[in-house]
Chain A
């Protein structure tokens, strides 16, 4: 009779994510110390700024909404072997399209919301389609092409908004969207004590997460996209149309980022500003990487980064620590998730000792390895 088998401990994505976060926060603490400030105070103000009262929690949720959608976009592209660094441009495209449609059309509130969501997705999808086509048919690396698309979007917004969407006073942003044309919901706003930020984008984001997870795990489309992402040659050999997968993936990723734009410009904010390349496009990379490109991981990751972003203003208002600290922490976390191999080795070594104590490893198998 054998004793109960001890389950082998292995390093996994969650532990690696935590390790990266811890190191990122340590780096942030170091930077704060370097300028002579108190890290604990700084971090405490971040937490307070994000969670101190109901209205602040609402703001955090609203920021996380945008990050969730962008993170989903980038995670989705990663699974297909593509690096969608063009989310910023897709956010602008989605936001611009949604705002333009909102001003151009008159509909009751709920149908309006669906319309702007649809147009934002479509515009983002187009913005992702172009680099997708370039990659599939011309072998253009998507990192460089999407960065170009970012700046093209930036300048299109720069000139389009003052020309067509301008409000009565300012040259640098669009007119304010009236309530019926935004993603705001009165009952939601009331739950959160009249918050200026919370919006239906949250539901859109959660819905998107569920849909994407379903596609990835259960459908033939998800199977194809993942196969192409792992090994495009093997996929091609098996009969999967690689080009089609690449283009489709960039379209969906672009569409998701476009949704993020709608949630930001027509939900969180009520207007679109020129001269800004949305940093969420890059923050989304952190969200995706930390969430190990899994939809559920992205949800938690987005909440975490949303917290950092929401609280940074409060921190810099109450200490001498510049708000860029939060962005630096995020960048450092990305760095450490890229170097996850290091963590895997570290934790595997730790776990090996524990596993050996419990005799987890079987006796050596009969298979010979390939000639080395």
Chain B
């Protein structure tokens, strides 16, 4: 059996961790081969080795039975390997053409016209619908991804790697992408799909290699393997995806947003006439594709962005124009989207990070002098209650914790502050299943204690799992609010794409 590409007994170590431990991957020509694993399992490392961004410590790579050496992306490109990265490698203020020809200009003096023509031809051939002269920052995320695909096609790549391609797409865009993949296979290419999304594997992959904690577990035939079997192999134990939760008992409104208008960084309206109510004892999840106003909405509520018009009230207190600290005191807690930028001060230890919202008042400080023993006691309580694991306990530098523990620290800090309104944005991004389950439990028990929770997530599963009500945002507008039990993913997906339940856009 001749394989298009083989990675045999690959081992890659980073300081303190073995990312790939004797992994073997074999992909046939004309197949879509999925690599399934949790976040942190080692999938991206493996593909980075294939693409020449890392060098394996042990093992070899073969293409069509011949051993090859790949030291850098140029070698990979020479061997007709192409990669669409999870985080797009695109220059925002360059055009499509400029991005594609970067590194392959062909001559010292730029010739953009010929290149643009070639790109247009490729775009037409594969149905990608891209204008070569458009600027990257002006086109949608879905189109940007297709530019990444064009980059591969421009150099005649044959082995196409897709790294978590659907994280940023609406359900409809995901369908389009899967169609494009099938089209590419028809042209004789082979595809490696890195993902942790089981439905997509089921939809389009032929075989699937499962990786757990750096080791290869199994290679399964997708058609004959169930999603729950694949999930169990991925995690190492039987997985129950549904979260155990009682029915919600909502009472008084806690958060009331009325006719909110917020400008984004481009001075356009990012949030348009948005109104929403969240009651104590319920979880409202906002579903939407990243970039449709969620960021601006949350920044407006938490005080990080000015509000153009409209009001935000928390427990009947108008916080529309209050500074951040006053909102915190009014009972707003916030688990931010970017834990490294906003959630924690990476260079501070845990003890200092736990009090960052409260250090200035009693009992954490008296007459402007910090009360270290009080801080220590409080911090230890958070560590114990929320199982935050670290090398040196309270004295560990936050930057040294794993992503999961950083997130637990942030969630712990926010919940321990006992906010009447808890806002969580992408609370389980990049975390392994164990941490995800834990954090979901914490969010639900905060709701059960009689508080309001506003959840923003780009993973529909999470929205459906946790929320009692689902609000859909598209292009800054509220499309609809529905009870979770009264709807399902297809319908929500349509709304996310801007199709209202009344049928018009």
* Residues of A in contact with B (beta carbons under 8 Å apart): 218-221, 223-224, 226-227, 230-231, 233-241, 364-372
Contacts and interface: CB of A to CB of B under 8 A. Distances in A.
Contacts of A224: 360
Contact of A234 (B341, B389, B404): B341
B213 interface: yes
Interface of B: 14, 16-17, 19, 38-41, 43-45, 48, 213, 302-304, 323-325, 327-328, 334, 336, 341-348, 352, 356-357, 359-360, 365, 368-370, 389, 391, 401-405, 430, 432
B44 A371 contact: yes
- Among B43, B302, B368, B369, the most chain A Cβ lie within 10 Å of the Cβ of B368
A236 B369 contact: no
Contacts of A240: 325, 356
A235 B352 CA distance: 12
A221 B346 CA distance: 19
Contacts of A220: 359-360, 365, 368-370
A38 B348 CA distance: 47
Contacts of A368: 17, 38-41, 213, 402, 404, 432
A223 B352 contact: yes
Sorted nearest first, the 3 A-B pairs with minimum C-beta distance are: A239-B325, A368-B40, A237-B342
A370 B213 CA distance: 11
Given A220-B365, A237-B334, A369 B40 contact: yes
Given A231-B345, A231-B346, A234-B343, A372 B404 contact: no
A236 B345 CA distance: 11
A370 B403 contact: yes
B188 to A, nearest CB: 31
Contacts of B360: 220, 224
- Among A230, A231, A236, A237, the most chain B Cβ lie within 10 Å of the Cβ of A237
Contacts of B16: 364
A241 B370 contact: no
A367 B39 contact: no
A230 B357 contact: no
- Among A218, A220, A239, the most chain B Cβ lie within 10 Å of the Cβ of A239
B345 A241 contact: no
Contacts of B302: 237
A227 B344 CA distance: 10
B116 to A, nearest CB: 35
A244 to B, nearest CB: 11
Given A227-B348, A367-B389, A218 B343 contact: no
A233 B44 contact: no
Nearest to A362: B391
A7 to B, nearest CB: 13
A230 B370 contact: no
A147 B213 CA distance: 53
Contact of A370 (B40, B303, B344, B368): B40
A242 B323 CA distance: 12
Nearest to B402: A367
A364 B17 CA distance: 8
Nearest to A227: B345
Nearest to B389: A367
B299 to A, nearest CB: 10
A371 B359 contact: no
B368 A236 contact: no
Nearest to B365: A220
B356 A238 contact: yes
A226 B349 CA distance: 12
B402 A369 contact: yes
Contacts of B402: 367-370
Contact of B341 (A231, A239, A367, A372): A231
B63 to A, nearest CB: 24
A201 to B, nearest CB: 28
A98 to B, nearest CB: 29
B40 A230 contact: no
A234 B345 contact: yes
14 contacts: A220-B369, A223-B359, A230-B348, A231-B341, A234-B345, A236-B342, A237-B324, A239-B327, A365-B389, A368-B432, A369-B17, A370-B430, A371-B430, A372-B45
A235 B346 CA distance: 11
Contact of B347 (A231, A239, A364): A231
A185 B371 CA distance: 40
B252 to A, nearest CB: 25
A230 B430 contact: no
Given A223-B370, A370-B40, A372-B19, A234 B344 contact: yes
Given A223-B359, A237-B342, 10 more contacts: A219-B368, A219-B370, A230-B348, A234-B341, A239-B357, A364-B16, A368-B402, A368-B404, A369-B402, A370-B430
A5 to B, nearest CB: 14
Contact of A236 (B39, B44, B304): B304
Contacts of B342: 233-234, 236-237
A241 B343 contact: no
Given A220-B368, A231-B341, A371 B328 contact: no
Contacts of B347: 230-231
Nearest to A237: B342
A180 B360 CA distance: 44
B40 A371 contact: yes
Contacts of B401: 367
Contact of B370 (A218, A234, A238): A218
B64 to A, nearest CB: 29
Nearest to A361: B16
B39 A371 contact: yes
Nearest to A222: B370
B369 A219 contact: yes
Given A231-B341, A234-B345, A371 B43 contact: yes
Nearest to A239: B325
A372 B370 contact: no
Contacts of A227: 345, 348, 352, 356
A260 B332 CA distance: 45
B356 A372 contact: no
Contacts of A226: 348
B488 to A, nearest CB: 29
Contacts of B370: 218-220, 223
A235 B40 contact: no
